[in-house]
Structure 1
Amino acid sequence: MRIIVIGAGVAGLAAAARMASAANEVVLLERGPSAGGGLNLNGPFTLTLPAVLRDLFVKTGGRKASGGGSLEENVSLVPVDPVRRYVFADGSSLVLPNTARGAAKDAFDTAFGNGAGASWLSLLDHGNRAWSAIRPTLVEVPDATRGELWRLYRSGAGRRALTPRRTLRQAGEGYGFRDPRMSAVLAEYALGAGADPRVAPAVLAIRPYIEHAFGAWRVVGGGPELARAMYERCLARNVTFRFGAEATAIASGAVTLASGERLTADVIVAAVDEQILRRLTGGAPAGERASKASTAAGYSPSLLSAHLHASKDLDLPHESVFFGDTGRDASNARLDALFADPAAYAASGGLSVPADPTLRISAAPEQPREFFVHVDVPAGLSDEAAHGYVPTLVELAARRLGLSSDNALTLQGTVTPADRERLTGVPGGSVNGPAITSVSSALLRSPTVQPVKGLLHVGASSRPGPGLAFAALSAWNAAEVLRPTRI
């Protein structure tokens, strides 16, 4: 079977490797000069659900025991502990441990007072119930439809697991979240999934649960190292790469390139954003009604990132979150900015970046003088506005880290929303694609099997959703569709 994969990001590389391992002839088209997509923009990053990548490397490693099949034989994968440090505006902090339930309870009690730990564990248990409900019915079912979701709603256990009429914030309050700092921590999980915390559905409790249950890991060398390993695995499985090959149209069994060349295939796998897929097919992908809420809300935020070098060694955890003002008014202003339409927001004369933003800092112990600082910004933020804010971002990072003038920070590079859009094609450089505003927009994103015959969709805007592990899982879904040749 001849297969064309469009896009060499995580989902495209994973799909190509899996399908080529099943004795298919696979050609991967990438409009850029190299493989990896958004991975090449990541420094140190946190990986959850490592089993997805482990399965990918084992299943594509060849039959020989010496084939170097496992993930750990191709990259250095290590657990991170603590998972991250949260530092609040009042100077207090939460150090979140990796996987240990008792340690997590103690950490929350220490940071927020007795009872906070039990409240956090109750939220994790909620996430466990939700994950147990959706994993076998919606996540690992390539052609699941709205019917599967309605069947869950019709059962008492399914409704209790998904709580479709409750937001994540309301779920936290129901489990005893009284301290605004705890709500701020929960809001970061919502933002990490591409959801406005004020309307994020309670089903997103699966995010902290997955991190807690399966652990947090890092790839030594960050995103580019994982991109290298996935690219080399594709080459080992005889995937043919064509770089600088931009697809401009998809029809049943055919892809047209910007050069005018027309390629034919039995199956086409589009590892692109939903809006790009709509443009390529000249119509609406299947499931548009299902993702109506996310379309109305627009796209989730982008990131402005700065790579910094300190003149002296720093002792930083793998990941830190430094909150600005966690008061409700400040939080609302920040979220209004992040989820606003960029053009309308700029026309209103509002600040493009909140004055006192939350900063995420990621670091690797093998490079004690280097780190990356990231701030959420509206998708579509202009390069001019982004670069104009970078000096403030560097100053804020130094202040939040308590660095003195004798430990100066040097800017090594920046990644703007426009950079992300140029590399990935995702509108506005959004990190997680369409915003999540409901259970449907979280779980029923663009489906794997599309209405165009022989067309499959994978990636962050497809099912099962955004995030590196889920993007790789979408490729597993596509490979499962091909196994019984159901398209």
Structure 2
Amino acid sequence: MIGAGMGAMAAAARLAVAGHRVAVYERTETYGGAVRRFERDGFGFDTGPGLLTLPAVYRDLFVKTGKEPLEDVVELVQVDPAARHVFADGTEVSLPNASRAGVVAALDEALGSGAGERWGDFLVRAREAWDRTRRPLLEEPLWPNWQVLAEQEPYPSVPHKRLLRTRRAGTPAEIGAWELRDERLAALLESHVLGYGLDPRTAPASAAVLPYMEHAFGTWYVHGGIRELARAVYERCVQRRVEFSFGAEVTGIVAKDGRAVGVELADGTVAEADHVVADVAPARLRALTEFPLDEDGDVRPDPVSPPPGRFTALLALRGGCEDRAAHRTVVHAPDSQTELDFLVSPGGDEPVCPTVTVLRPDDPALRPDDAHESVVVSAVVSTEAAWEDAGTVRRYTDFLLEAAGSAVPGLRERLLWHEVRTPEHTENETGAGFGAVPAPALAAGGGRFLHPANTTRLPGLYRVGGWSHPGGGLPHAGMSGALVAGLIVEGPDFRGSQ
């Protein structure tokens, strides 16, 4: 196993239970990939994902790999409200967790009569897209005829008449303009899409499944931070006698007679294996083997190069969190179009304030005492911006602090210190070029939003984690581990998770 990310560990635990001897080689000094923690002066912060959707993926992992269920090793807390949104015009709305009626009522009250119904109707259509794609895009290995997924748009757009022509929305931005018909509802939809590093103007309409997943299955927090989930998965692997080697960089994949038979480490040693599973970005995987992994007709992810990353500020505050403060607040960009333009083409223009997410866990495990608070503020940003320049970092820090003031009363006066993390930090921790963050796989879009299959053209070599099918995000990474384990244990006839 190359890498100790969440996908790799999910596969490792399942393979160990199936009777395989599993060895994991991780080039850094810890597990979890992007799921990490920063600690200082009694404060703790998640530096990767801060919330969990689809916890059933990890519940299934723990059911299949041992007697202790997930809830016995971590404390899952349903976040309510799911999010508070502060729109560019100053309008605010708090959306309850996993309650269609509650969301409809909240939107009607905040945005005006009819807004909630339009959003509710959109969620019904998004459910259709989810039902059509859940199996092939989350629970099954990538189809050999994946072109079917690439060509067919599963989102049932509402016909829109314009200038004697009938059109159907093909992107989230068009869904917002033609079906939601309110700039704030459009911003609500687009923030879900942007949060995964996707441009709502070019992503397929099938991205509607992203807000639907959160709505249908809820938003969850792990007490102590999401890093506790990574710890629990790692400890389950150790209990199943998975062997971990940290500070052990794999420099090559050994092939013999047209099959992967082991890995070569930086110190020159070779570890033999019946199967090699790689939890690394595509460019890194190609560099590890001389065997041609890609050919014409293979899945080609979105050619935008490189994909976006994240800029994060970790805030240590004096004073405790006020009662009933929202765990998550999304502060929408004052100019969303300019934000998106800069995201895909940062050269030459001055950056603008992005859409900012503020996480306030109010978790005693993440602060020195009740007289303090730890807050994580983040935004999706271009990985091509000049992150080595102190002025760029300072400008984005100011953007985030200014936006966070809408979520945290008296923020500037309460700030004890802050740490910032740029895409360069992500690159160092995950090995992904430029610090890019993978998005979940989506149908339609000509296949540009799919990810390479878990199997490769080199027999015995498998892909796992966010850069392979079914893509990025904690649930998807966990499912990639289940798919790879199934392919190894059951062989090419494996048809997916049950």
Amino acid at match of 1:464: P
Alignment match, 1:468: 474
- Distance in structure 1 (CA, Å) of the matches to 2:434 and 2:147: 32
Amino acid at match of 2:125: H
Where structure 2 has 5 or more consecutive residues not aligned to the other structure, the ranges are 38-45, 160-167, 365-371, 494-498
User: Is 1:312 the equivalent of 2:330?
Assistant: no
Alignment match, 2:220: 217
The answer to whether the 8 Å contact 2:300/2:451 transfers is no
Question: Cα offset for 1:454?
Answer: 0.6
Q: SS where residue 389 of structure 2 aligns?
A: helix
The answer to whether the 8 Å contact 2:97/2:218 transfers is yes
Stretch moving more, 119-128 or 406-415: 406-415
2:36 to 24, 31, 40: 40
Q: How does 1:181-330 map to 2 (within 5 A)?
A: 181-250=184-253, 251=255, 252-282=260-290, 285-286=293-294, 289-292=297-300, 294=302, 296-315=303-322, 316-325=325-334, 330=335
- Distance in structure 1 (CA, Å) of the matches to 2:129 and 2:252: 38
Question: Cα offset for 1:288?
Answer: 7.0
Question: Cα offset for 1:393?
Answer: 4.2
Alignment match, 1:31: 27
Amino acid at match of 2:12: A
Q: SS where residue 208 of structure 1 aligns?
A: helix
Alignment match, 1:64: none
Alignment match, 1:13: 9
- Distance in structure 1 (CA, Å) of the matches to 2:454 and 2:400: 41
User: Is 1:444 the equivalent of 2:450?
Assistant: yes
Question: Cα offset for 1:246?
Answer: 1.1
Measured at CA, do residues 231 and 170 of structure 1 come closer, stay the same or move farther in structure 2, by a change above 3 Å?
same
User: Is 1:333 the equivalent of 2:332?
Assistant: no
Amino acid at match of 2:108: D
* Number of matched pairs: 460
Where structure 1 has 5 or more consecutive residues not aligned to the other structure, the ranges are 62-66
Stretch moving more, 436-445 or 409-418: 436-445
Measured at CA, do residues 390 and 161 of structure 1 come closer, stay the same or move farther in structure 2, by a change above 3 Å?
closer
Amino acid at match of 2:456: Q
Question: Cα offset for 1:478?
Answer: 0.7
Measured at CA, do residues 32 and 379 of structure 1 come closer, stay the same or move farther in structure 2, by a change above 3 Å?
same
Deviations 1:44-85 (A, max 9, x none): 712111100000011111xxxxx4x21111111111111111
User: Is 1:123 the equivalent of 2:130?
Assistant: no
Alignment match, 1:56: 61
Alignment match, 2:362: 365
Question: Cα offset for 1:357?
Answer: 2.3
Question: Cα offset for 1:418?
Answer: 0.5
- Distance in structure 1 (CA, Å) of the matches to 2:119 and 2:155: 21
- Distance in structure 2 (CA, Å) of the matches to 1:219 and 1:38: 16
- Distance in structure 2 (CA, Å) of the matches to 1:411 and 1:149: 51
Measured at CA, do residues 394 and 168 of structure 1 come closer, stay the same or move farther in structure 2, by a change above 3 Å?
closer
Amino acid at match of 2:207: L
Stretch moving more, 387-396 or 25-34: 387-396
Question: Cα offset for 1:442?
Answer: 6.3
- Distance in structure 2 (CA, Å) of the matches to 1:79 and 1:405: 26
- Distance in structure 1 (CA, Å) of the matches to 2:442 and 2:492: 29
Stretch moving more, 313-322 or 441-450: 441-450
Alignment match, 1:145: 144
Question: Cα offset for 1:399?
Answer: 3.4
- Distance in structure 1 (CA, Å) of the matches to 2:60 and 2:296: 31
Q: SS where residue 25 of structure 1 aligns?
A: coil
Q: Percent identity?
A: 35
1:408 to 407, 414, 428: 414
Alignment match, 2:183: 180
Alignment match, 2:165: none
Stretch moving more, 97-106 or 142-151: 142-151
Q: SS where residue 280 of structure 2 aligns?
A: coil
The answer to whether the 8 Å contact 1:293/1:438 transfers is no
Deviations 1:328-366 (A, max 9, x none): xx32221122123xxxx44x3x33x42x22211011122
Stretch moving more, 375-384 or 48-57: 375-384
Q: SS where residue 114 of structure 1 aligns?
A: coil
Deviations 1:118-162 (A, max 9, x none): 111222112211111112234322142334725984xxx957489
The answer to whether the 8 Å contact 1:152/1:158 transfers is no
Deviations 1:371-396 (A, max 9, x none): 11112221144233454336514641
- Distance in structure 1 (CA, Å) of the matches to 2:405 and 2:342: 23
Measured at CA, do residues 406 and 378 of structure 1 come closer, stay the same or move farther in structure 2, by a change above 3 Å?
closer
Amino acid at match of 2:64: K
Stretch moving more, 166-175 or 401-410: 401-410
Amino acid at match of 1:137: P
The answer to whether the 8 Å contact 2:333/2:339 transfers is no
Alignment match, 2:109: 110
Task: Give the TM-score of the pair, scaled to structure 1.
Answer: 0.87
Amino acid at match of 2:130: W
Measured at CA, do residues 418 and 405 of structure 1 come closer, stay the same or move farther in structure 2, by a change above 3 Å?
closer
- Distance in structure 2 (CA, Å) of the matches to 1:91 and 1:400: 10
Alignment match, 2:96: 97
Stretch moving more, 244-253 or 50-59: 244-253
- Distance in structure 1 (CA, Å) of the matches to 2:146 and 2:319: 57
Q: SS where residue 477 of structure 1 aligns?
A: helix
- Distance in structure 1 (CA, Å) of the matches to 2:404 and 2:117: 35
Task: Give the TM-score of the pair, scaled to structure 2.
Answer: 0.85
- Distance in structure 1 (CA, Å) of the matches to 2:483 and 2:405: 45
- Distance in structure 2 (CA, Å) of the matches to 1:442 and 1:165: 18
User: Is 1:170 the equivalent of 2:170?
Assistant: no
CA RMSD of aligned residues (A): 2.8
